[in-house]
Structure formats: C-alpha cells, structure tokens
Amino acid sequence: MDEKAYYYQILRDEWKQNKTNHDIRLTLEELQHLTSLNDRISLQDVEDIYLPILHIFDIYWKNHIDLHKKEQSFLKQTHRTIPFIIGVSGSVAVGKSTTARLLQTMLQQVYPEKTIDLTTTDGFLFPNEVLIERGILNRKGFPESYDMESLVAFLLAIKTSDQAVTAPMYSHEIYNIIPNETQSFQQPDILIVEGINVLQLPPNREIYVSDFFDWSLYVDAEADNIEKWFLERFELLMDRAKSQPDNYYYKYAIGARQDAIAMAKEVWRTINLKNLEEYILPTRSRADLIIHKASKHHIDYLQLKKY
C-alpha cells in the first residue's frame, strides 16, 4: 500500500496554524547552540513548525498520564511516573540531532518541573575494537553494529526501574565509544532517544526498541539533499580538526582535500546511502510524525499518521 495512505500530508502554511499557547522563549544564540554543525533552523521554524509539534505532543502526553493512572488504579498499585519515551529517527546528516535537542529544550520550558533527558543510540554501537574483530567496521551504523540487547535492556530499565540507569557514551571526535564514561538517568519524566536505528525491527527479536516509544518522529529528506549535507558536514569537521591531532578527522584535514572529499563521497555511496535505502528509510512509515525537509533544510511539509 502507498505510504501516503497512512498519513495526512500537511503543508507548512497549513501546519503553522495549529500553534499551541505555550510561551517558548528562545534567542537566536540559544537556537544556534542547539543546531548541529551544518544544519539550518530559524526562529521562524520554531514558530511555524515546532510549536504545532508541541500541540501534538500534549495530546500524547496527557493520554499517557491518564492511561497509566487508570492502569495503576486497576492493579491497586502505588502511583509512579512511567517515563514517556520519544523516538527521533532519520538518516545520517539529516538534522535529527537538532530536532531532538530543540524538542528537549522546548519541553523543558513548557514543563519546568519535569525531568526531560536526551540520549542517542550511538552509545550502543559496539566499540571499534569489537567491530574490527568481527570484520564489520565498514558496516558501522548498520543493524549488526549495535548492541541491541543492551539498548533494549536500557529502555526496559528506564520504563520499569526506580533506580538510576546508565548508558554508554560515544564521541564523534574519536569515532568510538568513550571508555569508562557513561550517562546517568534517574527516573526521567520524558526521555528522547535519537538514532538512525530506533524504528528498526531486527530479525529474531521478541521485543524491539520502538516497543518502548510513546511517540516517534522521523526527519525526512531526499537522498540527494542528504548527500550534500553529509559532504558539507564532513568538510566542516575537517576544518575543525586541523589543530587536533587526536581528532578522527585530523588525518583527512592534513591531507589532500580532493582525496578526502572523494573518500567521503565513496563512504556516502557504499555505506550511508546503502544503509538509508535498506534499513532506515523502510522504517519511516512506523513514525507517528514525519518532518520533511527540502533543499537548505527548509521544512516544507509534515505528515501525521492517520491511526
């Protein structure tokens, strides 16, 4: 069935009419701090796109609270907060990290008394040493490169445990898991989980990452645009790494520029595009809300699931 049958497609001019009454105060400097390296987002985008998204979130959030109160009452359990988990997915370089950080910031302003945390699935990549040992370093980002057992266990603990829960951390500067460093979560009210794999359904599993989500978003764009953004980001990362010998991109920064860009194009074609087409894009129809970007990261329409 055509994916469009699952969604209401709403053009930007129509979407922006659905603003919430929440008072969001962001300066341009604050917004730039939230924006990924070569992503583009404006205060007008916050007004036109993200305030209506908060309106949709409020519906899911209130239903979540009501459902669990009634369920706990039925089971005669002491009331406890069940974390509301938001999944944010999309391709490499599409701007999903910006979306996740902006959502966290806006929700924290709307619900200042709530704990709103953010994590990425990058921390659940196997360390490079393991990927090398298994001969799949060139498959980094593909489903088999993630420790899905640990990611599912983490989300289960977030939903059910009264204790602090930790997650490993990843650095794009060293291109690897950071040894002996973790991120701690103490019963968040809302947790945003961002990653290319959050909506995937790996084979031979009884439970999936998305089973823990109460709401999910997919940041979408045409592959040609994402390739441009990926290459732009690669060049910016090289520029930043020129004086940082420990940075993963340093070896490219000090070499011939045209060779580095040729390598990045090959990485896009053989790894990132392949991963997008085979594993990421097929998960788009599992999202509750799709944010579509045209050239220059302009958000031109959104798709809201019909059911």
Asked if pLDDT for residue 110 goes beyond 90, the answer is yes
> How deeply is 149 buried, as exposed, middle or buried, from its count of CB atoms within 10 A (0-12, 13-18, 19+)?
exposed
190-194/299-305 β-pairing? unpaired
Contact 175, 202 (CB under 8 A): no
Contact 106, 47 (CB under 8 A): no
User: Cα–Cα distance between 97 and 302 in angstroms, integer?
Assistant: 18
Asked if pLDDT for residue 16 goes beyond 70, the answer is yes
3-class secondary-structure state, position 298: coil
pLDDT tens for residues 82-105?
Answer: 999 999 999 999 999 999 999 999
Per-residue confidence (pLDDT) for residue 202, from 0 to 100: 82
Give me 34's structure tokens: 């939230």
Per-residue confidence (pLDDT) for residue 1, from 0 to 100: 59
pLDDT tens for residues 147-190?
Answer: 999 999 999 999 999 999 999 999 988 999 999 999 999 999 99
Average confidence (pLDDT) over 179-202? 95
Residue-averaged pLDDT of the chain: 95
255 assigned to a ligand binding site: no
Asked if pLDDT for residue 64 goes beyond 90, the answer is yes
- What pTM did the predictor assign? 0.95
CA 107 from centre of chain: 16
Q: In the chain, what are the helix, strand and coil shares in percent, each to the nearest 5?
A: 50, 20, 30
Percent of the residues in the chain that have a pLDDT greater than 90, as a whole number: 91
Asked if pLDDT for residue 4 goes beyond 80, the answer is no
Give me 267's structure tokens: 């990485």
User: Cα–Cα distance between 47 and 198 in angstroms, integer?
Assistant: 27
97 assigned to a ligand binding site: yes
Q: How confident is the model at residue 205 (pLDDT cuts 50, 70, 90)?
A: confident
Give the H or E element holding residue 301.
strand 299-305
Quick one: which of 3, 1, 2, 40 has its CA closest to 298? 40
209 assigned to a ligand binding site: no
Q: Distances from the Cα of 203 to the Cαs of 62, 150, 232, in angstroms?
A: 33, 16, 34
Quick one: which of 38, 96, 35 has its CA closest to 221? 96
285 assigned to a ligand binding site: no
161 assigned to a ligand binding site: no
198 assigned to a ligand binding site: no
Which residues, other chains included, contact 181 with Cβ-Cβ below 8 Å and sequence gap of 6+? 168, 169
pLDDT tens for residues 234-255?
Answer: 999 999 999 999 999 999 999 9
User: Cα–Cα distance between 190 and 278 in angstroms, integer?
Assistant: 30
DSSP-derived letter for residue 48 is I
Percent of the residues in the chain that have a pLDDT greater than 70, as a whole number: 99
87 assigned to a ligand binding site: no
Asked if pLDDT for residue 2 goes beyond 80, the answer is no
Give me 138's structure tokens: 């060139």
Please give the residue that has the higher pLDDT: either 6 or 20.
6
Per-residue confidence (pLDDT) for residue 100, from 0 to 100: 98
